[in-house]
């Protein structure tokens, strides 16, 4: 797909774009100084001299045979000390409040997409493929075609294993139709087999870095939408298109929007904060081309219709009918 001239449709798709710690409360320990103070107090009490006697009992009368001298010498006064008052236990120390957990450090801001490297583009494209394939696998689960056989999703192949070719290095994907796919992204397949392959030029993404990171997801989701169309027409699903018309391109936009919208709501895709603005930019850049992809407003409307529903069924109904 090229800006101004889109050989194969790019879907206007919002990008997602897929994280607290508790600290244990420390127990309160009795200070060692308090324990030593209590011990010192007890030691002082036990070594003090006994208080004056509360009373002195009378001397026992001597027996008839004892002499007064012996009796007086053998008799002593008995002094009784009052019972000791128990020392109160030390007051408990007030509980120490635990410190609040530290605030999480903010995530670093991603580098501007306009500075994206080859590795950055490859990584985002791989994420976009994973997101779209998950959506279609889940959407086909449990579906059956007219004769009752399962419509299990079969992902399209990727050119060179990851979808990439590099026209700057002299490598261009070939669909066998005689067209030049330099600086483009496309689906090559047909409804007869219901399958095909996806491919995109690394230089295509470099040429449109100004459209933002979301553009990578929209393009790949749109081209995957064409693969879905081929499969649905092969299975005889009503409303599916594979005729190269403008309606066919807009339906692929809707399919692309549905896959990204569901991924965002289900939490496996996180789009940039300005994703909606980027979607409009993509629609403006790739809308109104001679290949018949539709005007910027038409492309954005189709993409947003799918994005809002997150359901492939929405895209099988022509809103103009």
Amino acid 319: pLDDT:
83
Structure confidence by residue, pLDDT tens digits, 123-135: 999 999 999 999 9
pLDDT digits (tens, 9 = 90+) for 6-35: 334 333 333 333 333 333 333 333 333 333
In terms of Cα–Cα distance, which of 194, 195, 198, 171 is closest to 185?
A: 198
Q: How confident is the model at residue 217 (pLDDT cuts 50, 70, 90)?
A: very high
Q: Which of 31-45, 67-81, 304-318 has the lowest mean pLDDT?
A: 31-45
Tokens 């539709």 belong to 294
Phi, psi of 164 (to 5 degrees): -90, 140
Cα separation values, 182 from 2, 120, 171, 231, 284, Å: 9, 21, 9, 26, 21
For residue 5, what pLDDT band results from cuts at 50, 70 and 90?
Answer: very low
Of 149-153, 189-193, 267-271, the one with minimum mean pLDDT is: 149-153
- Binned at pLDDT 50, 70 and 90, residue 74 comes out as very low
CA distance 149 to 242: 22
Give the pLDDT score at 256. Answer: 98
Q: How far is CA 271 from the centre of its chain?
A: 12
Distance CA 59, CA 261 (A): 109
Tell me if residue 255 falls in helix, strand or coil: helix
Q: What is the DSSP letter of 101?
A: P
CA–CA separation, 228 vs 237, rounded Å?
11
Task: Give per-residue pLDDT as tens, 176-198.
Answer: 999 999 999 999 999 999 999 99
Take residue 305 and report the two structure tokens written for it: 């219709």
- Can you give the pLDDT at residue 94? 65
The yes-or-no verdict on residue 318 having pLDDT over 70 is yes
Percent of the chain with pLDDT over 90: 58
pLDDT at position 203, please? 98
Provide the pLDDT for residue 107: 60
Confidence of residue 320 (pLDDT cuts 50, 70, 90): confident
116 vs 320, higher pLDDT:
116
Strand, coil or helix: 68: helix
Going by C-beta distance under 8 Å and a sequence separation of 6 or more, which residues neighbour residue 190?
196, 230, 242
Question: Phi first, then psi: what are they for 38, rounded to 5°?
Answer: -60, -40
Binned at pLDDT 50, 70 and 90, residue 242 comes out as very high
Predicted confidence band of residue 1 (pLDDT cuts 50, 70, 90): low
Distance CA 53, CA 61 (A): 22
**pLDDT for 3 beyond 80:** no
Would you state the pLDDT for residue 81? 54
The tens digit of pLDDT for each residue in 84-120 reads 666 777 776 766 667 777 877 766 667 899 999 999 9
The whole-angstrom separation of Cα 146 and Cα 13 is: 31
Average pLDDT value over all residues in the chain: 78
- Per-residue model confidence (pLDDT) at position 150: 83
Q: Which residue has the higher pLDDT, 307 or 6?
A: 307
Residue 55 tokens, joined? 């009373």
Two structure tokens written together for 44: 């002082």
Residues listed for the chain: 321
For the residues 263-288, what does the mean pLDDT come to?
A: 95
Mean pLDDT of 152-166: 96
Instruction: Give which of 195, 129, 191 is closest to 164, Cα–Cα.
Output: 129
The reported pLDDT for the residue numbered 82 is 58
């Amino acid at each position: 797909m090229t800006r101004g001239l889109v050989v194969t449709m790019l879907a206007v798709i919002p990008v997602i774009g897929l994280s607290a710690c508790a600290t244990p409360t420390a127990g309160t320990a009795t200070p060692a100084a308090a324990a030593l103070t209590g011990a010192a107090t007890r030691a002082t009490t036990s070594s003090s001299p006994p208080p004056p006697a509360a009373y002195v009992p009378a001397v026992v009368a001597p027996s008839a045979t004892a002499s007064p001298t012996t009796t007086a010498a053998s008799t002593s006064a008995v002094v009784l000390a009052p019972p000791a008052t128990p020392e109160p236990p030390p007051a408990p120390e007030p509980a120490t409040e635990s410190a609040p957990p530290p605030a999480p450090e903010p995530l670093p801001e991603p580098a501007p997409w306009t500075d994206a490297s080859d590795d950055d583009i490859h990584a985002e494209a791989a994420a976009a493929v994973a997101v779209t394939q998950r959506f279609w696998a889940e959407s086909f689960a449990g579906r059956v075609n007219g004769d009752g056989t399962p419509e299990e999703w079969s992902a399209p192949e990727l050119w060179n294993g990851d979808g990439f070719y590099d026209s700057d290095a002299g490598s261009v994907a070939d669909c066998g139709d005689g067209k030049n796919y330099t600086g483009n992204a496309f689906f090559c397949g047909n409804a007869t087999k219901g399958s095909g392959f996806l491919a995109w030029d690394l230089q295509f993404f470099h040429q449109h870095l100004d459209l933002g990171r979301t553009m990578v997801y929209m393009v790949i989701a749109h081209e995957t939408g064409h693969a879905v169309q081929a499969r649905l027409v092969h299975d005889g699903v009503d409303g599916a298109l594979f005729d190269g018309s403008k309606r066919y391109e807009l339906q692929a936009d809707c399919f692309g929007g549905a896959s990204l919208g569901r991924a965002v709501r289900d939490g496996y895709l996180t789009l940039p904060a300005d994703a909606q603005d980027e979607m409009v930019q993509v629609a403006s850049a790739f809308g109104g081309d001679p290949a018949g992809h539709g005007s910027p407003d038409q492309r954005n409307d189709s993409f947003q219709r799918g994005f809002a529903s997150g359901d492939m069924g929405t895209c099988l109904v022509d809103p103009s009918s």
